[in-house]
């Protein structure tokens, strides 16, 4: 079956530094796929290159059968692909409701927009309660929910989640992982970058392990956990 | 007391014009980090449209919308031709580009129209005055205050409740993420320029209706003042720009009115001294931009 999202021999460079060196991966419809690796392994660079936030040096990204390599970021949300970025990056000077409204910017159909509001408020009742509050005044966990909610407002078929549980209290972390499974049940295909490896491997269907911008291992969580590569990837041994 | 109230009206009229100009600079700066020194030439363009309309016998009621349309179109064209190619350049690159645009336009005005100041025909009503609460207020001053208030209320509503306005605020805070939502970079930036063109156009109408003349360098001084006002208010902050504009207007008018005659020649240094003093205590301006503050933390 043709993958919904795939990258082939992807390279990302920042000046002389090559952050991503020939990474290839694919996501099938309905999968949860994780990118794992230590800080600086190139995970976020891959996410940002897919969404056009950083330029792709070479390689190819395909989404839904179309070449989206180097597309402008604004063209992806209407096509059904979006990112909940690392560090949340909610619009702090906008109200919670306006953040969500911006998330739905790409939607034009009125029914689809109102369905998106219902879905996000059902998933995160706290956002409904806080809808008139400035996003900058929310707690970290609430801001993370807002970041994910804002991404969901565009009704994505593929959602990229960059470090969704970073800096959150353990209880909230559990909620985030429950949410990931819930989204999959709703038909969203997910690509996740996470530092919480144990939890990620519990929810992921497959994972790619990155070291210094290269994929060193891939497979189902059960296969990865048995091999020693995972520890090496995080501890930096070669 | 009467003199004080009278001068307060003058300060509101002048400060309002500075506020509109500073707001125009701030709208563009908040979104793309460009301080557009060619903003003044948008004013001049609107001024010349008023002049030509007067010569052609076009009624002022039609001349004003024509002048505003001209400054909006000129602002959008400026973005498309001059600033889009350097959009990803450094702040300095964009700044120098804006100086170049300003100078090219000034030279064009000087060569194609006239180097000298040209009279602008205004309706007689504007030089009338009305009596309110015992004060004699010029219709042009009153019109300036009313126009400023109406425009500020409209802009506040637009930025808070209109999808495009909210998108502009989102883009000002985090451009990359706003684009990720499907907000088009070109649309937001062109929209910001159109808005700044509208503000410069209204400011030009108010400016010209106080002076009844237009010259190739007309826009330079007010925009320099507006730049000071924008910094005074907090660069990149829209509310700050308005506050800074009004404060600068008040400082200038009160100094001109109440400084003893022998000190009048030091009026500008004293005024700027007050600005420096305010900035000493509030280095990020009166109402700092939330985004710029966040970046420093």
Interface predicted TM-score of the whole assembly (ipTM), two decimals: 0.90
Q: CB–CB of B167 and A102 under 8 A?
A: yes
CA distance to partner chain A, nearest, from residue B183 (Å): 6
Q: What is the mean pLDDT of residues A13-21?
A: 91
* DSSP count for chain B of H helices, then E strands: 12, 4
Phi, psi torsion values for B215, nearest 5 degrees: -140, 165
Q: CB–CB of A77 and B180 under 8 A?
A: yes
Q: Is the pLDDT of residue B292 over 60?
A: no
Residues 6+ apart with CB under 8 A from A156: A77, A80, A81, A82, A188
Q: What residues of B are in contact with residue A73 (Cβ under 8 Å)?
A: 176, 179-180
* Amino acid A169: pLDDT: 85
Work out how many CB contacts closer than 8 A connect A with B.
70
Q: CB–CB of B166 and A102 under 8 A?
A: yes
Length of chain B as a residue count: 297
Element (H, E) at A118: helix A110-123
Q: What is the mean pLDDT of residues A108-127?
A: 93
Element (H, E) at B74: helix B60-78
* Amino acid A223: pLDDT: 84
Q: Is the pLDDT of residue A235 over 70?
A: no
- Residues 122-151 in A contacting B (C-alpha not used; CB under 8 Å): 136, 150
Q: How far is CA B251 from CA A36, B113, B156, B283, in A?
A: 60, 35, 25, 19
Q: Which of B169, B184, B294 sits opposite A94 (nearest CB)?
A: B169
Cross-strand pairs, B137:
B130
Average per-residue pLDDT in chain A? 91
* Amino acid A2: pLDDT: 87
What's the CA angle centered on B83, arms B297 and B220, to 5 degrees?
90
Which sign does the torsion angle of CA B266, B271, B277, B283 carry?
negative
Q: Is the pLDDT of residue A183 over 50?
A: yes
The token pair at B106 is 């000034």
3-state helix, strand, coil in chain B (%, to 5): 80, 5, 20
Cβ(A83)–Cβ(A160) below 8 Å? yes
Q: Residue B84 gets which letter from DSSP? A: G
* Amino acid A172: pLDDT: 84
The string of DSSP codes covering A131-160 is TTSBGGGS-HHHHHHHHHHHHHTT--SEEE
Q: Is the pLDDT of residue A144 over 70?
A: yes
Q: Is the pLDDT of residue A128 over 80?
A: yes
Q: What residues of B are in contact with residue A76 (Cβ under 8 Å)?
A: 180, 182
* Amino acid A214: pLDDT: 92
* Amino acid A228: pLDDT: 66
Q: How far is CA B272 from CA B11, B238, B247, B267, B292, in A?
A: 16, 21, 12, 9, 24
Residue A238: band (very low, low, confident or very high) from pLDDT cuts 50, 70, 90:
very low
Q: Which residue is it, tokens 């700066």?
A: B29
Q: What is the mean pLDDT of residues B210-217?
A: 93
Phi-psi region of A94 (alpha: psi -120 to 50; beta: other; left: phi over 0): beta
The token pair at A24 is 């290839």
Q: What residues of B are in contact with residue A101 (Cβ under 8 Å)?
A: 163, 166
d(CA A25, CA A37): 15
More confident position, B72 or A220:
B72
Q: What is the mean pLDDT of residues A95-110?
A: 95
Per-residue pLDDT reduced to its tens digit, A18-59: 999 999 999 999 999 999 988 888 999 999 999 999 999 999
Cross-strand pairs, B130:
B137
* Amino acid A226: pLDDT: 65
Identify the three-state secondary structure at position B55.
Answer: helix
A73 touches chain B (CB under 8 A): yes
Q: Burial of A237 by CB count in 10 Å (0-12 exposed, 13-18 middle, 19+ buried)?
A: exposed
First to last CA, chain A: 34
Average per-residue pLDDT in chain B? 92
Q: What is the mean pLDDT of residues B229-245?
A: 93
* Amino acid A236: pLDDT: 56
Cβ(A88)–Cβ(A143) below 8 Å? yes
Q: Is the pLDDT of residue B140 over 70?
A: yes
Q: Which of B170, B291, B294 sits opposite A102 (nearest CB)?
A: B170
Per-residue pLDDT reduced to its tens digit, B253-269: 999 999 999 988 999 89
Residues 6+ apart with CB under 8 A from A110: none
Query: What SS3 string covers A205-218?
Result: CEEEEEECCEEEEE
Q: Is the pLDDT of residue A118 over 80?
A: yes
Q: Is the pLDDT of residue B293 over 60?
A: no
Q: Burial of A66 by CB count in 10 Å (0-12 exposed, 13-18 middle, 19+ buried)?
A: exposed
The string of DSSP codes covering A164-212 is TTTT--HHHHHHHHHHHHHHHHTT-EEEEE-S-HHHHHHH-SEEEEEET
Q: Is the pLDDT of residue B291 over 80?
A: no
Residue B101: band (very low, low, confident or very high) from pLDDT cuts 50, 70, 90:
very high
d(CA A116, CA A124): 12
Q: CB–CB of A92 and B182 under 8 A?
A: no
Q: Can you point out the beta strands (E) in chain B?
A: 118-119, 129-132, 135-138, 213-214
Q: What is the mean pLDDT of residues B147-164?
A: 93
d(CA A45, CA A37): 12
Percent of chain B with pLDDT over 70: 97
Q: Which of A77, A85, A101 sits opposite B166 (nearest CB)?
A: A101
Q: Which of A90-99, A209-218, B17-26, B128-137 is the least confident region?
A: B128-137
A108 touches chain B (CB under 8 A): no
CA–chain centroid gap for A60, Å, is 19
In A, minimum Cα distance to B166 occurs at A98
Per-residue pLDDT reduced to its tens digit, B26-84: 999 999 889 999 999 999 999 999 999 999 999 999 999 999 999 999 999 999 999 99
* Amino acid A5: pLDDT: 95
């Amino acid at each position: 079956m043709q993958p919904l999202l795939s990258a082939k021999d992807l390279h990302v460079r920042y000046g002389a530094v090559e952050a991503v060196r020939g990474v290839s991966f694919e996501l099938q419809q309905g999968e949860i796929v994780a990118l794992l690796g230590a800080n600086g392994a190139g995970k976020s660079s891959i996410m940002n290159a897919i969404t056009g936030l950083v330029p792709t040096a070479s390689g190819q990204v395909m989404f839904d059968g179309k070449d989206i390599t180097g597309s402008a970021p604004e063209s992806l949300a209407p096509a059904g692909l979006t990112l909940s970025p690392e560090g949340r990056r909610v619009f702090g000077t906008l109200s919670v409701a306006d953040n969500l409204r911006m998330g739905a910017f790409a939607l034009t159909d009125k029914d689809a927009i109102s369905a998106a509001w219902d879905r996000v408020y059902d998933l995160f009742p706290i956002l409904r309660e806080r809808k008139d509050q400035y996003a900058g005044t929310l707690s970290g966990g609430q801001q993370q929910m807002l970041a994910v909610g804002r991404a969901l407002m565009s009704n994505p078929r593929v959602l990229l989640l960059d470090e969704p549980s970073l800096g959150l209290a353990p209880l909230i972390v559990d909620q985030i992982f429950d949410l990931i499974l819930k989204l999959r049940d709703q038909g969203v295909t997910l690509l996740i970058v996470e530092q919480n490896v144990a939890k990620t491997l519990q929810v992921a269907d497959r994972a790619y392990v990155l070291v210094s911008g290269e994929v060193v291992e891939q497979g189902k969580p059960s296969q990865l956990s048995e091999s020693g590569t995972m520890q090496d990837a995080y501890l930096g041994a070669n | 007391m009467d003199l004080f109230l009278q001068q307060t009206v003058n300060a509101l009229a002048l400060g309002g014009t500075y506020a509109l100009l500073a707001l125009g600079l701030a709208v563009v700066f908040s979104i793309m980090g460009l301080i557009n020194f060619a903003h003044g030439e948008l004013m001049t363009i609107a001024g010349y449209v008023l002049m030509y309309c007067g010569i052609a016998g076009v009624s002022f009621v039609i001349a004003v919308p024509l002048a505003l349309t001209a400054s909006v179109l000129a602002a959008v064209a400026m973005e498309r031709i001059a600033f889009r190619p350097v959009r990803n350049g450094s702040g300095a690159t964009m700044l120098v580009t804006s100086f170049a645009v300003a100078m090219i336009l000034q030279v064009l005005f000087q060569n194609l129209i006239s180097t000298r100041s040209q009279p602008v025909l205004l309706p007689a009503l504007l030089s009338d005055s009305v009596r309110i609460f015992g004060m004699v207020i010029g219709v042009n001053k009153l019109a300036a205050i009313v126009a400023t208030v109406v425009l500020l209320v409209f802009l506040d509503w637009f930025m808070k409740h209109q999808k495009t306005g909210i998108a502009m605020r989102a883009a000002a805070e985090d451009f990359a993420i706003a684009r990720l939502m499907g907000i088009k970079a070109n649309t937001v930036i062109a929209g910001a320029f159109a808005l700044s063109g509208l503000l410069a156009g209204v400011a030009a109408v108010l400016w010209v209706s106080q002076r009844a003349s237009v010259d190739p360098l007309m826009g330079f001084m007010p925009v320099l003042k507006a730049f000071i006002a924008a910094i005074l208010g907090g660069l990149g902050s829209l509310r700050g720009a308005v506050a800074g504009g009004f404060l600068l207007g008040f400082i200038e008018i009160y100094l001109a009115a109440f400084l003893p005659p022998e000190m009048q020649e030091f009026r500008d240094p004293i005024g700027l001294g007050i600005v420096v003093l305010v900035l000493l205590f509030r280095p990020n301006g009166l109402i700092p931009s939330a985004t710029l503050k966040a970046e420093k933390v």
